[in-house]
Amino acid sequence: MTERSDRQNEIASVAARLFRQKGYAAVSMRDIAASMHIKAASLYNHITSKQDVLALVLMDLAASFTQGITTIDAADIAVSEKLSRIIKLHIDLTIQNPHAMASLNNDWMHLAPEALERFTEQRDFYEETLRRIIRSGIEERIIHPLNEDLIVFSLLSTLRTLYLWYGRKSNLSEQKLRVDLTAALLNGIVKNS
Amino acid sequence: MTERSDRQNEIASVAARLFRQKGYAAVSMRDIAASMHIKAASLYNHITSKQDVLALVLMDLAASFTQGITTIDAADIAVSEKLSRIIKLHIDLTIQNPHAMASLNNDWMHLAPEALERFTEQRDFYEETLRRIIRSGIEERIIHPLNEDLIVFSLLSTLRTLYLWYGRKSNLSEQKLRVDLTAALLNGIVKNS
DNA sequence: CTTTGAAACTAACAAGTGTTAGTCAATTAA
DNA sequence: TTAATTGACTAACACTTGTTAGTTTCAAAG
């Protein structure tokens, strides 16, 4: 895996936007090319296949999540602080890559077999790490003793689909988003629990 | 819109499963036909187009959500009870239509224009109704005064992606799912809030 | 200048797409 | 028994798909 050229990054950026709108399968190489004002064949001077474009869109972002949660998990901090930082990680990466987040959720199954395996490995690792954090929180009596898988997926469902509505509705600042989202996810929305 | 035939329901059922696996655009009419052990052309004895199949998959389920939240909202019950019932509504409909739920999230933009408009109307109505419920909860001091759009989408993100993991992980009963999910969403996961 | 390299282009391909037309066998209604 | 309907079939259509081959343009390096 060599360094990515500027043009490759442009392709990945344009493709991510289109993938988000219509999904990987509904976007043609001619669509991507037209958005760059070139012809489809010209794309192949920079990439080797359509699946390669998808990998360009996904794999860096997936690696950022892997690296992010690894760092957080290794830190010597309380479980609740780890969770707060994980929420912030998702917010930061979503703001930086809103379009690619859609493909991360919906298009990853169209990766070529080798890339697909690397992707699912990272995804499994991420979920497993988060589950370990949740479990230790339950053992420390810091987290309510609910089903731990349920907690993991309840958190991830919201965090992974942040891209769907950040920026669309009442444009709250990144800071208020983080504070309110952390409160909603960790402390709940109903009073006097 | 006439009554749906048995064969139409079979097509919708098979298509929903395939749409979930690969997405609408990546599923061909020949794929759907092969899953039913007939030829693609034979499908057109029962449906008029591929987009029609998608409408068959989506529109009934969308109507169920609309009807469900309308009934709940009209009931003379506390806000927290409304929220509990909305959570149950999502659980019930997800268990009954796990595959179609995926298309409801990811494939609706491929509907033909008229169906698309009806769909987005219902979706907007659903979100607006939920937001009104949340807002009245905040005004009654029952719900924490967080950003109301954030609360709506935090809840819906989890509820709409239930299909992704129900049945996959530690097979908890429908009852425990409902109880724990309600607790996690409404009361939060961290103690002593 | 000349050469080289990158990056665009045109043209074309084989395969797959949704869909239509026309046919035929079997079940149902008269 | 006959007529009509249903629902499968084969064959084909016009179009789009990802991709390759070969060519041209043009700026940078020698």
pLDDT tens digit sequence for A163-188: 998 878 767 899 999 999 999 999 99
Count the domains in chain A. Answer: 1
The residue in chain B having the minimum alpha-carbon distance to the alpha carbon of residue A145 is: B189
Residue B162 lies in a domain: yes
Residue A31 lies in a domain: no
Q: Please write the tens of the pLDDT for every residue from B3-52.
A: 889 999 999 999 999 999 999 999 999 999 999 999 999 999 999 999 99
How far CA A131 is from CA of A69, A125, B179, in Å, comes to 12, 10, 20
Distance of alpha carbon B181 from alpha carbon A132, whole angstroms:
19
Taking the CA of residue A31 and the C1' sugar atom of nucleotide D21, their distance in angstroms comes to 22
Contact flag, residue A29 CB and nucleic strand D, below 7 A: yes
**A184 vs B25, B110, B154: nearest CB:** B154
pLDDT the model gives residue A1: 47
Residue A193 lies in a domain: no
A144 in contact with B at a CB cutoff of 8 Å?
yes
A37 in contact with B at a CB cutoff of 8 Å?
no
How far CA A115 is from CA of A1, A55, A106, B35, B165, in Å, comes to 12, 7, 15, 28, 23
Q: Do B141 and A183 touch (CB under 8 A)?
A: no
Q: Do A180 and B106 touch (CB under 8 A)?
A: no
Show the low-confidence residues of chain A (pLDDT under 70).
Answer: 1-2, 170, 192-193
Residue A4 lies in a domain: no
Footprint of strand C on the protein (CB under 7 A): A 5, 7, 33, 37-39, 41-42, 45-46; B 27-31, 40-41, 44, 48-51
Range of the domain at B82: 50-187
Residue B6 lies in a domain: no
Residue B104 has which token pair?
């409801």
Q: Please write the tens of the pLDDT for every residue from B129-184.
A: 999 999 999 999 999 999 999 999 999 999 999 999 887 876 789 999 999 999 99
CATH code of the domain covering residue B112: 1.10.357.10
